[in-house]
Amino acid sequence: MEERSSADAVVLEGVRKSFGEKVAIEELWLRIPAGCICGFLGPNGAGKTTTIRMIIGIFRPDAGQLRVLGQTDPSLVKHRLGYLPEEKGLYKKMRVRDLILYFAQLKGMAADRARQRANELLATLDLAEWADRKCEALSKGMGQKLQILVSLIHRPELVILDEPFSGLDPLSRDAMRDLILELRREGRTVIFSTHVMEQAEQLCDRVVLIDRGRKLVEGPVEEVRASAGRSVQVEAEGAVAWEQLPGVAGFSSHGRQADLTLAEGADPQRLLAALVGQARVRRFEVRATSLHEVFVRAVGGRRDADL
């Protein structure tokens, strides 16, 4: 057990959290091994940010146990955590260098060490000439770079990024992706939340899918996709009654194109044969289910169950 806890960066055991009447997290069990990239997926309002805030110790769970970097009280490991919130803010009137120093010292770095690190990082990020300017003078992109710098200056073991890709242009997205991969190479654990499935699919070793305060799916990306079964992407001309095709467990149709989920043990060949009888097939591709489909199905399924 001791061994496991040291290998796990974050463990949540039956964690609950509510605000007044509103239940934010119903009961969450989670295990995030150290050194991996873990994606928190879920629609808006699913409880991703609340979970993240519990992990960094801003909120305390009402019930259940939480272990972060081996400690049950996250506030004891704050200096080993790096956090980049979704809404990034800076003190407008502070000088860039003072701001970095301030946050670095809050993270427990000694002033001279922090100053040295700040200079290094400012140079790497091409912000050196801005060091003595006020933050309000920075462009939006530079502000984001500075934010990232601030959250990583103390070389945290666990980096938590809340919606790191939202509002980024394509170039910055790539830079952010590279940064996340770089962090893993250095042996750090990265948790990030997103609702863009393609990114999670590209980047994550593991994913956790949350909706309305409940965990729906958790595990390594490949397993999650495989457990959802195979799926078929079809492009066909003509009216097709998708749900009546043999072996189709679910579908989402986008006009001529449709994503079909195969039932367990279903044979794609039989499906194709049936399809050819109904319409003119332009394309037929058998593949592992995408996270997007897993997401839509899991969340949609729950919504349907509620109705």
Partner 1 sequence: MRISEVYLVAQREYLENLRTKAFWIGILTFPLIITLGICVPILLARAKEARSFAVLDHSGFLLRQVEEQAAAQDLAAAFSRAAEAYRRGGPAFAELPEALRGLALGLLPLEETQRGKVIEALVRGEAPADTFSLPEPARALLARREALLDWRQQVSAAELKDLDFPQGRYRRVEVPQDGSDPQARLNQMVAQGEIFAYFVIGPDPVAGPQDCKYVSRNLTDTELHDWFSGLATAAIRQQRLIRANLDPRTAQWVQAPLEFAGRRLDEGGAEQRVAFGDKARQWVPLAFVYLLWFAVFTSAQMLLNSTIEEKSSRVVEVLLSSVDAGELMAGKIAGTAASGLTVVGSWAVFISLAVAIVPGLLGASATAVAQIIANPFYLASFVVYFCLGYLFYAALLVSIGSMCNSLQETQNLMMPILIPMMIPLFAMVPLVQDPNGLLARVLSFIPPFTPFVMMNRAAGPPAPWEYLVTALLMVGSIALATWAAARIFRIGILLTGKRPRLREIWGWLRSGEAR
Site residues for partner 1 per CB under 8 A = 18-20, 53, 56-60, 62, 75, 78, 81-85, 87-94, 102-103, 105-107, 147, 150-151, 160
Contacts of 93 (CB under 8 A, 6+ apart): 134, 135, 136
- What minimum distance in Å lies between the beta carbon of 180 and partner 1? 18
Q: Show the tokens assigned to 97.
A: 């260098």
User: What are the CB-based long-range contacts (under 8 Å, 24+) for 219-228?
Assistant: 221/291, 222/288, 224/291, 224/294, 225/288, 225/289, 225/290, 225/291, 225/294, 226/288, 226/289, 228/261, 228/289, 228/293, 228/294, 228/297
- What minimum distance in Å lies between the beta carbon of 95 and partner 1? 10
- What minimum distance in Å lies between the beta carbon of 104 and partner 1? 10
Angle at 296 between CA 175 and CA 273, to 5 degrees: 110
Read off the DSSP letter of residue 293: H
Q: Between residues 107 and 212, which has the closer beta carbon with respect to partner 1?
A: 107
- What minimum distance in Å lies between the beta carbon of 38 and partner 1? 18
Q: Between residues 16 and 230, which has the closer beta carbon with respect to partner 1?
A: 16
Helices and strands, counts by H and E, the chain: 10, 13
- What minimum distance in Å lies between the beta carbon of 60 and partner 1? 5
Q: Between residues 132 and 237, which has the closer beta carbon with respect to partner 1?
A: 132
Q: Between residues 26 and 62, which has the closer beta carbon with respect to partner 1?
A: 62
Q: Between residues 127 and 275, which has the closer beta carbon with respect to partner 1?
A: 127
Longest dimension (CA), the chain: 75
Alpha helix (H) residue ranges in 60-196: 96-106, 111-124, 140-152, 170-185
Q: Between residues 57 and 247, which has the closer beta carbon with respect to partner 1?
A: 57
- What minimum distance in Å lies between the beta carbon of 160 and partner 1? 8
Q: Between residues 155 and 230, which has the closer beta carbon with respect to partner 1?
A: 155
- What minimum distance in Å lies between the beta carbon of 167 and partner 1? 13
Concatenating the DSSP letter of every residue in 10-34 gives EEEEEEEEEETTEEEEEEEEEEEET
Concatenating the DSSP letter of every residue in 166-221 gives TT--HHHHHHHHHHHHHHHHTT-EEEEEES-HHHHHHH-SEEEEEETTEEEEEEEH
